[in-house]
Amino acid sequence: MHRSKSAAAAALAVALTAAATISGAPAARAAAGCKVDYQVTTEWQGGFIASLNVTNLGDAVTGWRLTWSFGGGQAVSQIWNGTVRQSGAQVTVDNVGYNGSLGTGASAGLGFVANGPTTPVPTDFAFNGTACTGSVPAPDVLAQAHTAGRVTKSGQYSWPGVYFEGRFRGTGVGISLNDSNNDYDVQIDGATVATLSKPGRTTYWVNNLSNADHGVRLVKRTESAWVAAGEFGGFVAANGGAILAKPVARSRQIEFIGDSLTAGYGNLSTTRDCSTNGGVDRNTNTDISFGALTSRALNADYQVNAFSGRGMVRNYGGGSPGTSYRTYYDRALLNVDGDVWQNPGTWHPQLVVVGLGTNDFSTALNPGEQWPDTQSLVAAYKSAYQGFLDKLRARYGSGTTILVSVGQASGTFTDAVRQVAQDRAAQGDTKVRYWNYADPALDLLGCDWHFSRHDHQLISGLLRDYISGLNLAW
C-alpha cells in the first residue's frame, strides 16, 4: 500500500465524476471468481482517498455489485465509477451504466473518498456474492448431477457402483472424467450407449441425438480399492444445448454392504476361469449386481459399499491380518488411511443389506492366526457383527431395517449369522432380520465361482419377494 501526506484541501480537489448515491439495483448474476487490487493513494488527518480495481475471473457479467466491510469505523463520503450505499461497516457498490459489462478477465476501476483511518484494510471483498480470492473456486460437480454414492465434494470416489445422473437439452452431452483404473457405462435415456475402459482424463462425448430433453447416467462398473480414486468432473452440454436441473433424489434408499459377491465380481463371465476372456475387471459390472437390480426395480437410490476379499474380522485366506471390512467402511476413498465420508445429510436408507462372512469362513485357518480354532473365530465374528450393527443403528436410527444375509444353505457361516439375528431379536431389535438366499438354481459361473449374471437376477428376485413382506415405511 502506498501512502502520501497531503492537505485536506488538496485531497478534496481531486476530480470526482460521481457523488455518493443510494442504489438497490440487484447484481445481474453470480461470478465464478474475482480479484481486487486496493490502494490508498492519498491520506490526511481524518480521511483518505483509495482506488479499487476489480477483475472478473468468471463468466461474463452484464452487471456487478462489489461489497466489503470496514473494520475501523471508516465511512465513504464520495465515489466515482460506481454508486454506493453503506450500512454500518458494510459497503455496497453497484456498477454505473458504462462499466456494467465485464467479460472474463476484464476489470473495472473505481475510487472513493472516506472519513476515518486508512487501517485496517478491507479483506472481505465479494463480487456478485463470490469472495474475491484471486482465483476461480473449484466447481460444484454435484450441482447438476444426482448421486447417492459416497462421493467427496471434489467429485472423487472409490466404492463400486457409484453413479451420476443428469438431464440435458440438445443433441449431445459430454462426461468429464479422470480415472485410469476403472470401467464405466454411459447410459442415455435408460439405454447403455458406451462402455469406457480406464478412460483416463477425458471428456467423453455422446452426439447426434435428437434435439430434445434427455437423461444421462454414468455408472462405475469395477472395483479399485488400492489405487487412486476416480473423479467425476460433471456433465457438459453440446453447442446450442444446456445442462438442466438434476433429477430429484428418490425417496427410497437401500445400502448394500458386502464383499465380492455383493460387488458383482466376475458376473459377466460364463466360465469360472476368466484368465482367457478378459480377466475379472472386464467381466465385472456392479450395475447388474443383485443390489443394483433390486434398487432399480423398486425405484430406489442405492449404495454398493462392497470390498472383495474382506470379512467381518478375517479376510480371504487370512490375508492382511489386523484389517477387515470394518477398517474401510467409514471411508469414501478406500486407499486413503483415516479417510471419512461426510454424509451430506441426504443419505438415510430405510433398508441395509449386510453380506459379510464368506471370507471369514471360506478358507481354513492358518498357523499363527489370532484365532486358534474355528470356535474362537466364530465367537469373534459374532461379537464384531453385533458391534457393526450397533454402528449402523447409531448412524441410521431404529427405524432402518437391517437384513443380515447369507447365501449358503447350512454350515458355520450360516449358523453364525442366524445366531446374530436371534441375539439381536432377544435384545429387542426386531428390525434386524435374517435372510438366507441359498437356492439350488444358482450356477456360480462367474469368475472364480462367483455369482453369474443369471445368479444376480435370481437373487434380486428373491430379495424383492422378501422385501415385499417387510412392510417398509418407504
Respond yes or no on whether the N-terminal peptide bond of residue 120 is cis (omega within 30° of 0).
Answer: yes
Known active-site residue 260: yes
Rg for the chain, CA atoms, rounded = 30
Q: Which residues contact 76 (CB under 8 A, 6 or more apart)?
A: 20, 84, 86, 91, 112, 113, 114
203 grid coordinates: 471428456
Long-range contacts of 394-398 (CB under 8 A, 24+ apart): 396/348, 396/349, 396/352, 397/348, 398/429, 398/431
Cα-based distances in Å from 403 to 147, 156, 415, 471: 24, 29, 15, 14
Distance spanning both ends of the chain, measured CA to CA: 62
What is d(CA 53, CA 36) in angstroms, rounded to the nearest whole number?
A: 6
Q: Which amino acid is at 99?
A: N
CA dihedral 424, 426, 427, 428 (to 10 degrees): 100
HSE-CB at 302 with a 13 A cutoff on CA atoms is: 29
CB 162 within 8 Å of CB 150? yes
The alpha carbon of residue 436 and the mean position of all alpha carbons in its chain are separated, in whole angstroms, by 33
Choice among 176, 260, 289, 405 that is catalytic: 260
What is d(CA 143, CA 199) in angstroms, rounded to the nearest whole number?
A: 23
Closest-CA residue to 19 (of 65, 84, 94, 91): 84
Q: Which residues contact 15 (CB under 8 A, 6 or more apart)?
A: none
How many other C-beta atoms can be found within 10 angstroms of the C-beta atom of residue 391? 12
**Cell match 450360516: residue?**
414
DSSP structural state of residue 441: T
Q: Which sequence positions are flagged as catalytic?
A: 260
